[in-house]
Structure 1
Amino acid sequence: MDSHHPESDTTTGQKPSEECAVVGYYGNNAFINILFGLKALQHRGQESSGMATYDGSIHINKGMGLVSEVFKSSSLPGNIGIGHNRYSTSGSKGIENAGPFVISSSLGYIGISHNGEITNAHDLREELKKNGYIFTSSSDTEVMLILMASEINKYGIYDGIKKAMFKLKGSYAAAILINNTLYALRDPRGYRPLVIGKNSDGIMIASESAAIDTVSGELIRDVKPGELVEINNGVIKSIFTIEWQHSHCMFEYVYFARPDSIIDGREVFNVRYNLGKILAIEEPAVADVVIPVPDSGRSQALGYAVQLGIPYSEGLIKNRYSDRTFIMPDQQSRYNAIKLKLNPIKSEISGKDIVLIDDSIVRGNTMKFIISLLKKDGAGKIHVRIGSPPIIAPCYFGVDMKTKDEFIANEKTVENIKNEIGADSLGYLSINGLKKAIGISNLCTGCLTGRYPEEIPPFAKPNYT
């Protein structure tokens, strides 16, 4: 994945963006199965899409845009392949950074699709350059691939990958193709999800189980944190597992993953529903109706409404086909951009006190304008409730949140934030409530506390000089 400064889009810039989606497949109709898997995981990356398959030779197609735009008519042969949807979190945008990355080595072809962020990529790149390796992109995925190829050349596949894992820092969930064998690899802390499933054609690995559902498959299990899994001739074999303390990303459950996915044994919808119920216990409000910010607040809003016995309503309708807006020069233009993206159902808004639920507030711009939109259409009191704790610190493990300045909660009280967004009241879920709803105590909460599971190398931080 690759890092750039976040875009300041009024209507979409509030949310942190995910890093990437990976898919791998071994079996019949590999191209079609990977294609459907990538389409199911389009939400994890819309910048570029790509695929590499193998049938004795390597075949690659990748380009900028959505899966449907890149693979309009092309097909790739072979019964094994890997696919990638990208959103850059480290390096620049551009076709040179689109995945998958493939190289030809003395062993044959090695390809990788990677979801996450290698925090020490700069240092590793410089070290590899000194040893004569040449890079064609600014992507940390290419660093990971060349490091692995170097170690594999010296120690063989299993030991080489293990040696590389001990040198890599940060997060990675990867689908790896080495000639006619497929591998699944997850970092020892398990920051990013990776699952294994099967259908009538063969075996799939993917960032989320929803991809497996899309090809009429069944989920077999998660790839364990620190595990290398080999898939060949229909056989799934666990090669090794490096045991470290786990630090699953809480944002996968709060926002990134599809609600119909199952991650580390937990259905995402059920987790979000419980987030809403616990939020209602911790931060109750008296109101006529509970309304979610679509689409991200729906599951939490339903849990909140059920817990307090307040009617739930879809009071905001999202225009799924509105164009992405640019940076607007004045308040009226920004208001019009929100109106294009979201429109209230007036009968559900006018004259009613509302609990407005969203999964998170990052910059606060969108929430501020939604509140002004609702009040302009006759809403009474608006009680904002957020299904996660305040975000106060950057993420260095694959989420596009890199500078403290962009966080509305940075060095502000809840009362300050309430006044800034124009709400009548504001309540956040607690960190303990978050852990209880997810059912995992070993979470990465660095963006909530500023304390990270591992040391962050200086070059991983923005504005490093």
Structure 2
Amino acid sequence: MRTEIKGLNEECGVFGVWGHEDAASITYYGLHSLQHRGQEGAGIVVSDEKRLKVHKGMGLVNDVFNEDKIKSLTGNGAIGHVRYTTAGDSDFINCQPLLFNSQTSSLALAHNGNIVNATALKRQLEHQGSIFQTTSDTEVIAHLIKRSGYPNLIDSVKNALTMVKGAYALACLVEDAMIVALDPNGLRPLSIGRLGDAYVVSSETCAFDIIGAEFVREVQPGELIVINNDGMHIDRFASGTKRTLCSMEYVYFARPDSNVDEINIHMARKNLGRKLAEEAPIQADVVTGVPDSSISAAIGYAEQSGIPYELGLIKNRYVGRTFIQPSQALREQGVKMKLSAVRGVVEGKSVVMVDDSIVRGTTARRIVKLLKEAGAKEVHVRISSPPIINPCYYGIDTSTKGELIAASRSTEEIREEMGADSLAYLSISGLTEGIGRPDEGPDCGQCLACFTGQYPTEIFPEADHPYDKVLGGK
């Protein structure tokens, strides 16, 4: 659960398989493993090497699919997607994978991330005659592929990807192949595995464990990989690339049992908690974490500080994530439904409450109140990431500084607003060292833009920019 990152709306998840007779079933289980990355919609497209078939809808994977639907999706290749809206409206038409049919062939696309120059590209494509059926930035890629003018699909995809800027872990499906690609900065995770003779691809390695697949390799920045009946063929569409993986994958987004860039998420979060205890010690009776993404960091804080870890907050697992609610009033009510303080653990105690991040601050304030209503004598809030002071344009839905409490308030002002007895954040150096990349500069292999304002790509949201010229814009 994410009780705060909420306005840091969740990223999406992609999954694919080629060469398995039960491709749709495998993809269904893969999407279950990625459900934490998006709960608004889900979809699967399959190929029987003659045509593509799709089923998708709004809601959780279990809401969208049943046994009959999966049986109807026959084929040995498939791609799937779980979605949280970061670009485009939250409705059925934007559910992915997006499927496009032409007189000669079909193409399906599933994408995790955000195209920062999508608005300008769409404007130019419409000027040239394109008609868009969705408001998703992913559709821009399909139009670029179709308009490339190259005689073969692979060159067309390469050409299209040189025009888009931003973050994308992309899975494409055609009748006779699956194609995967990662943006030149490698902002999003994407891995390849083997399941017998079949290949699988997933936003997170935790999906491989569920289906019994063996990890093979991560897709590298700027790579384009074609998987068909002849095997796996590795190509590139960009050179001179350098990875800047989103730091929030380690802090919050990825599942604890996933490995991202060869680093286990649970161990990274424990290390963040250890660093936090070193940087912001406090005398207290118990340490507790906000379920679920902060538990690992809380355990690390407890181990380093010597303060016992206790289950001070309980999550109700039968309600949705609070940040999905459309209004602040409903979001706060969602916190009441989702979390309960354990009075027997916190009453009369000085409590260290470890959370992974603060965005708006409203939920953190509510959790502090929950703990104090349950009798906590003191609540000391410790955050296992630095203050988020800048918007993210790469697939996390915080597009303005106005949404970010730390962008306009000091740590002391935030502490006072939430009613905590103390508040401390992890430093940027503590973050990079805890994850396992001690260089906090541009060579640390991580995107730190939400903490530092130093973005790995140019940002042109809703504005004219040089990339218009690629499509003949004036």
Q: TM-score range by the shorter chain?
A: over 0.9
- For residue 371 of structure 1, the aligned residue among 365, 368, 371 is 368
**Cα displacement (A) at 1:338:** 3.5
What is the alpha-carbon distance in structure 1 between the residues aligned to residue 232 and residue 57 of structure 2? 31
Is the aligned partner of 1:24 residue 2:16? yes
**Cα displacement (A) at 1:454:** 1.6
Is the aligned partner of 1:93 residue 2:90? yes
- Going from structure 1 to structure 2, the CA distance change for 1:15 and 1:218 (only over 3 Å counts) comes to farther
What is the alpha-carbon distance in structure 2 between the residues aligned to residue 334 and residue 220 of structure 1? 40
What is the alpha-carbon distance in structure 2 between the residues aligned to residue 416 and residue 12 of structure 1? 18
Query: Aligned to 2:242, what secondary structure does the other structure show?
Result: coil
**Cα displacement (A) at 1:234:** 6.0
- Going from structure 1 to structure 2, the CA distance change for 1:274 and 1:313 (only over 3 Å counts) comes to same
Alignment-derived partner of residue 407 in structure 2: 410
For each residue in 1:143-196, what CA deviation from the matched residue of structure 2 results, as whole angstroms up to 9, or x when unmatched? 112212322x42523332222222110000011112211111000000011000
**Cα displacement (A) at 1:291:** 0.4
* Residues 332, 363 of structure 2: 8 Å contact kept: no
- Going from structure 1 to structure 2, the CA distance change for 1:157 and 1:334 (only over 3 Å counts) comes to closer
Alignment-derived partner of residue 63 in structure 1: 57
Alignment-derived partner of residue 444 in structure 1: 447
- For residue 234 of structure 2, the aligned residue among 238, 253, 262 is 238
1:26 partner letter: W
Query: Aligned to 1:136, what secondary structure does the other structure show?
Result: coil
Query: Aligned to 2:88, what secondary structure does the other structure show?
Result: coil
* Residues 158, 239 of structure 1: 8 Å contact kept: no
- Going from structure 1 to structure 2, the CA distance change for 1:460 and 1:425 (only over 3 Å counts) comes to farther
* Residues 14, 361 of structure 1: 8 Å contact kept: no
What is the alpha-carbon distance in structure 2 between the residues aligned to residue 294 and residue 201 of structure 1? 38
What is the alpha-carbon distance in structure 1 between the residues aligned to residue 374 and residue 102 of structure 2? 63
**Cα displacement (A) at 1:334:** 8.0
Query: Aligned to 2:367, what secondary structure does the other structure show?
Result: helix
Alignment-derived partner of residue 205 in structure 1: 201
- Going from structure 1 to structure 2, the CA distance change for 1:308 and 1:117 (only over 3 Å counts) comes to same
Is the aligned partner of 1:74 residue 2:77? no
What is the alpha-carbon distance in structure 1 between the residues aligned to residue 334 and residue 456 of structure 2? 39
Alignment-derived partner of residue 43 in structure 1: 36
* Residues 15, 361 of structure 1: 8 Å contact kept: no
Alignment-derived partner of residue 275 in structure 2: 278
**Cα displacement (A) at 1:460:** 6.9
What is the alpha-carbon distance in structure 1 between the residues aligned to residue 304 and residue 123 of structure 2? 54
- Going from structure 1 to structure 2, the CA distance change for 1:215 and 1:458 (only over 3 Å counts) comes to closer
What is the alpha-carbon distance in structure 1 between the residues aligned to residue 62 and residue 331 of structure 2? 30
**Cα displacement (A) at 1:309:** 1.0
Is the aligned partner of 1:162 residue 2:158? yes
Query: Aligned to 2:395, what secondary structure does the other structure show?
Result: coil
Is the aligned partner of 1:223 residue 2:219? yes
**TM-score normalised according to structure 2 size:** 0.90
What is the alpha-carbon distance in structure 2 between the residues aligned to residue 236 and residue 282 of structure 1? 46
Please list every run of 5 or more consecutive structure 2 residues that lacks an aligned counterpart in the other structure.
438-443, 465-474
**Cα displacement (A) at 1:49:** 0.6
2:17 partner letter: Y
What is the alpha-carbon distance in structure 2 between the residues aligned to residue 19 and residue 219 of structure 1? 22
Alignment-derived partner of residue 311 in structure 2: 314
* Residues 195, 209 of structure 1: 8 Å contact kept: yes
What is the alpha-carbon distance in structure 2 between the residues aligned to residue 47 and residue 339 of structure 1? 22
1:32 partner letter: S
What is the alpha-carbon distance in structure 1 between the residues aligned to residue 311 and residue 225 of structure 2? 43
Alignment-derived partner of residue 469 in structure 2: none
Is the aligned partner of 1:360 residue 2:357? yes
What is the alpha-carbon distance in structure 1 between the residues aligned to residue 291 and residue 127 of structure 2? 50
Alignment-derived partner of residue 440 in structure 2: none
What is the alpha-carbon distance in structure 2 between the residues aligned to residue 195 and residue 178 of structure 1? 20
**Cα displacement (A) at 1:245:** 2.7
**Cα displacement (A) at 1:286:** 0.9
* Residues 4, 362 of structure 2: 8 Å contact kept: no
**TM-score normalised according to structure 1 size:** 0.92
What is the alpha-carbon distance in structure 1 between the residues aligned to residue 332 and residue 211 of structure 2? 41
What is the alpha-carbon distance in structure 1 between the residues aligned to residue 147 and residue 175 of structure 2? 16
* Residues 26, 234 of structure 1: 8 Å contact kept: no
**Cα displacement (A) at 1:202:** 1.4
Is the aligned partner of 1:261 residue 2:253? no
1:62 partner letter: K
**Cα displacement (A) at 1:448:** 1.0
- Going from structure 1 to structure 2, the CA distance change for 1:171 and 1:294 (only over 3 Å counts) comes to same
**Cα displacement (A) at 1:241:** 5.5
1:340 partner letter: M
What is the alpha-carbon distance in structure 2 between the residues aligned to residue 185 and residue 460 of structure 1? 26
Query: Aligned to 1:409, what secondary structure does the other structure show?
Result: helix
What is the alpha-carbon distance in structure 2 between the residues aligned to residue 85 and residue 367 of structure 1? 27
- For residue 390 of structure 1, the aligned residue among 373, 381, 387 is 387
Report matched runs for 1:316-331 at 5 Å.
316-322=313-319, 327=327
Please list every run of 5 or more consecutive structure 1 residues that lacks an aligned counterpart in the other structure.
1-9
- Going from structure 1 to structure 2, the CA distance change for 1:400 and 1:244 (only over 3 Å counts) comes to same
What is the alpha-carbon distance in structure 2 between the residues aligned to residue 190 and residue 112 of structure 1? 18
1:293 partner letter: V
1:435 partner letter: T
